[in-house]
Chains A and B, each alone.
Chain A
Amino acid sequence: MDETIAGKVRSIVQEVRPEIDFSQLPVSADFDDAGLDSLDHASILFSVQETYSIVIPDDVVDVLKSIEAIAAFIQSHDVGRH
C-alpha cells in the first residue's frame, strides 16, 4: 500500500468528520466500526473522486470501506501520485 495515498485518504476522512480523531485509525479498519455512516462514506468517495479525477463505479462502493481499500483502488488506477 502506498503510504502517501493512504495519508491523503486519511486526511479526506478527517475532513469529512472533523469532530472525530482518525489519526490512529488502522488503515484496515472498517468505516462502519470507526463511526462513519453511509452519508460520510458517500462524502469520502466524492472527495476521492475529485482529488484524483477518477470515477468510482457503484459496483465497487461496498468494498471501499477502509483507508486501505480506497488507497488500493486509487493505486490500481495509477493516479495516486498525480
Chain B
Amino acid sequence: MIGIRSIASYLPPDRVNAVERGRQLGFDEKFVTGKLGFAALSRKSPAAKTSDLAVAAIHRLERDRGMTAANAKCVVVVTQNPDDDGLPHTSAIVHRKLGLSPSCFAFDISLGCSGYVAGLAAVIGFMHCAGVDEGLLITADPYSAIVDPDDRNTALIFGDAATVTLLASDPVFVVGNFDLGTVGAAADALRVADGRLSMNGRAVFDFAAREIPASVERVIASSGLTKDDVDRFIFHPGSRYVVDTIARRLAIDSPPFPSAAYGNTVSSSLPLMLEELINGREQVVLLSGFGVGLGWATTILRRV
C-alpha cells in the first residue's frame, strides 16, 4: 500500500511583519492576528524561483530525514506559479536540478490550496497505475510573486514555502478515503489578472463555511468513523477566522494554527502542519484543503 513515508519543508528565512504592514493598510493588530491569524509572512528572495524552493525542500528531506530522492520514479510539483512561463513544467526543472534518472517521470499539477490532498490522490493513483513504488509530491506556490502588497484583501495572508512528501510502499500514513469537489461557478472569486491576485473574500468565506464542514462529515462517514475517532483535524489556514468557523460548524475544538508564524502558504500549508505530526502519536488525521477553483479536497490519514 503506497502512502506517506516522510515529509520535509523549506520556509525562506525572510518575513514580512503582518502587524506592521496591517497598520499601514488600516487594520488594527487584533484584526490581523486574531481574525486573519498571521503575525508574519514568509518571503522568498526576489530571485528565487519556484524550483529553487522545491529543491531546498528536497535537500532537507535528504539531510534532515535521511531519505533519498534518487530512487523516485515520479516527481510532481503542485503550483500555479511555475518557473518562468510554465513551459517547461517546473517539475522537469526540479528533475534537472536534482539530476534524477530518466526513468523518473515529471509532471505538474495546477491547483491552489486543495492541491496537496488532491495531489495525494493523483500521485498515488498514478503510482498504482504506472507500477511505481516511490515518488515525490512537491508543493511550491510562492504567492509573493502575484500578491499586490497594497491590496487589503490579500496582502496580509500569504507566505512562501515549499514541501516535499515522499510517497512509498512502506508508509507511515496510508491515505483515503477522499472527498473532492469544485464549484466552478465561483471560480472568479480567486483569480490572477494582469499578474495580480484578486480575491472576493466574502465568496471564498461562503464557499468554505458551506462546503468544508459537509465534506468533512462525508469523508468521516465514508471511512466508517466518527468525529471522535479523528485525533487531529488539519484545515487549510485560509485565515484563523475561517478555520474557527469550520470548527464551530462541526462542533469541534478549533485546531492549532501554526501558520500564524509564516502565513497561508497555499498548497504547502497542510504538509507543513502534517510534517510536525509525522513522528507523533496521532493515529487518525483529517486533512482538508480548499480555495482556488473554488475547490476542495478532504481525506483521512491512518497511521500504519
Asked if A pairs with B, the answer is yes
Shortest distance from the beta carbon of A43 to any chain B beta carbon, whole Å = 7
- Cβ of B206 under 8 Å from chain A: yes
Number of chain B residues close to chain A: CB under 8 A: 13
Contact with A along B223-257 (1 / 0, CB 8 A): 00000000000000001010001000000000000
Q: Which of the 9-residue segments B68-76, B84-92, B164-172, B195-203 touches chain A?
A: B195-203
- Cβ of B214 under 8 Å from chain A: no
- Would A45 and B31 count as touching, CB distance under 8 A? no
Shortest distance from the beta carbon of A46 to any chain B beta carbon, whole Å = 5
- Would B35 and A45 count as touching, CB distance under 8 A? no
Shortest distance from the beta carbon of A24 to any chain B beta carbon, whole Å = 23
Known: A46-B205, A46-B206, A46-B209. Is A39-B241 also a contact (CB below 8 A)?
yes
Interface residues of A in 21-63 (CB under 8 A from B): 37-39, 42-43, 45-46, 49-50, 58, 61
Smallest CB gap from B242: residue in A = A39
Chain B residues touching A, majority SS = helix
- Of all A-B residue pairs in the complex, the 7 with the closest CB atoms, nearest first, are A42-B202, A42-B205, A39-B241, A39-B35, A46-B206, A46-B209, A37-B31
* A-B CB contact pairs (8 Å), 18 listed: A37-B31, A38-B201, A39-B35, A39-B205, A39-B239, A42-B205, A42-B206, A43-B205, A43-B209, A43-B241, A43-B245, A46-B205, A46-B206, A46-B209, A46-B210, A58-B202, A58-B203, A61-B202
Residues of chain A at the chain B interface (Cβ within 8 Å): 37-39, 42-43, 45-46, 49-50, 58, 61
Given A39-B241, A49-B206, output 12 extra A-B contacts at Cβ < 8 Å: A37-B31, A39-B35, A39-B205, A39-B239, A42-B201, A42-B206, A43-B209, A46-B210, A58-B200, A58-B202, A58-B203, A61-B202
